[in-house]
């Protein structure tokens, strides 16, 4: 048996097998390196993703901190406003209580004011009688109306007082039947302030005055007729205002009574 030939063949087979094994190991090394690189890439990607998420979380956290600071400031401001509103509410409740008390005090006062004004008009000379009575009736309706505020009622009463006061500073004339008289004839009435009320007949030939003490009309003597005519012309704007020398009620009453006694 030729051992030399067999050894040669074995050696040759070994040489042929060695490159194959080396190549396989090299492939294993390369594959392992590629796996390591892939794993490293995945790890890097995970780190990058985590870093991005961390940045977003930090940004969101900071935004929440800012929002919380704003909400804290806003809440503090609201608390201050609530305190102020509570104080205002307490003040309003006190004012409302004062208003209710004032309303309770004003109601009888206003009733008394209307009663006094009514009595005053009834005892006054009877000029613009119907107009003034209607005004008083309206005031009484206002007092009984719960839908009208106390302020409006009080204002209307003061307006009525103001109108009555202004009558004392004016002179006017108008045509009307004699008030508180059975005569149906229309005359020219002349009011001088609230001191005197005269009348002229349509032909201006007779004059008279209202005697408030007796609550009747009395004739004036003919001597006073020019003065009453002058007052009428001033009141009717037919002449410039001037100083009027008119008979006062008591003086005129004395003159009229004397004239009547002389006639008897």
Beta-bridge partners for 207: 200
Report the alpha-carbon distance of residue 182 to residue 201 in Å, rounded.
15
Q: To the nearest whole number, what is the mean pLDDT of the chain?
A: 82
CA distance 212 to 228: 18
Contacts of 208 (CB under 8 A, 6+ apart): 198, 199, 217, 218, 219, 220
Confidence class for position 111, pLDDT limits 50, 70, 90: very high
The confidence band for 4, taking pLDDT boundaries of 50, 70 and 90, is low
Angle at 133 between CA 208 and CA 228, to 5 degrees: 20
Tokens 């609230």 correspond to: 194
Q: What is the mean pLDDT of residues 163-186?
A: 90
Instruction: Kindly report, residue by residue over 42-97, the tens digit of the pLDDT.
Output: 888 888 887 778 888 888 888 878 888 887 887 788 788 778 877 877 877 777 66
Q: Average pLDDT, stretch 112-131?
A: 95
Question: What mean pLDDT is predicted for residues 103-108?
Answer: 84
Question: pTM of the entire structure?
Answer: 0.58
- Give the residue-averaged pLDDT of 118-132: 94
Q: What is the DSSP letter of 197?
A: E
d(CA 191, CA 212): 13
pLDDT attached to residue 260: 32
Question: Per-residue pLDDT averaged across 153-158, rounded?
Answer: 95
* DSSP secondary structure of 117-145: HHHHHHHS--TTHHHHHHHHHHHHHHHT-
pLDDT at 25 over 90: no
- Please say whether the beta carbons of 105 and 176 come within 8 A: no
Does position 12 have pLDDT exceeding 80, yes or no? no
Of the pLDDT bands very low, low, confident and very high (cuts 50, 70, 90), residue 6 is: low
Q: If residue 112 lies in a helix (H) or strand (E), which one and from where to where?
A: helix 3-123
pLDDT > 60? residue 16: no
Q: Residue 227 has what pLDDT?
A: 92
* Tokens 């004062």 belong to residue: 98
The token pair at 122 is 């009834």
Q: Please return the burial class of 192, using the count of CB atoms within 10 Å of its CB with bins 0-12, 13-18 and 19+.
A: buried
Torsion of CA 245, 250, 256, 262, to 10 degrees: -110
Find the distance separating the first CA and the last CA of the chain, reported in whole Å.
206
More confident call, 69 vs 198: 198
Q: What is the pLDDT of residue 3?
A: 56
């Amino acid at each position: 048996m030729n051992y030399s030939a067999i050894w040669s063949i074995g050696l040759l087979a070994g040489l042929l097998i060695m490159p194959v094994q080396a190549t396989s190991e090299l492939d294993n090394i390369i594959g392992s390196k590629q796996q390591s690189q892939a794993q490293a890439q995945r790890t890097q990607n995970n780190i990058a993703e985590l870093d991005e998420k961390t940045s977003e979380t930090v940004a969101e956290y900071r935004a929440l901190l800012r929002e919380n600071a704003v909400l804290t400031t806003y809440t503090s401001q609201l608390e201050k406003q609530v305190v102020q509103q509570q104080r205002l509410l307490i003040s309003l409740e006190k004012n409302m209580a004062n208003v209710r008390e004032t309303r309770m005090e004003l109601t009888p006062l206003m009733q008394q004011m209307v009663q006094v004004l009514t009595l005053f008009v009834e005892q006054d000379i009877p000029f613009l009688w119907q107009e003034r009575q209607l005004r008083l009736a309206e005031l009484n309706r206002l007092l009984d109306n719960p839908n009208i505020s106390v302020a409006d009622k009080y204002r209307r009463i003061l307006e009525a007082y103001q109108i009555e006061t202004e009558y004392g500073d004016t002179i006017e004339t108008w045509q009307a039947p004699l008030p508180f008289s059975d005569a149906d004839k229309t005359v020219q009435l002349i009011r001088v302030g609230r001191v005197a009320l005269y009348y002229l007949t349509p032909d201006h030939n007779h004059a008279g005055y209202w005697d408030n003490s007796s609550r009747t009309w009395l004739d004036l003597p003919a001597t006073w007729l020019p003065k009453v005519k002058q007052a009428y012309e001033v009141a009717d704007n037919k002449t410039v205002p001037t100083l009027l020398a008119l008979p006062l009620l008591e003086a005129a009453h004395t003159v009229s009574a004397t004239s009547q006694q002389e006639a008897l």
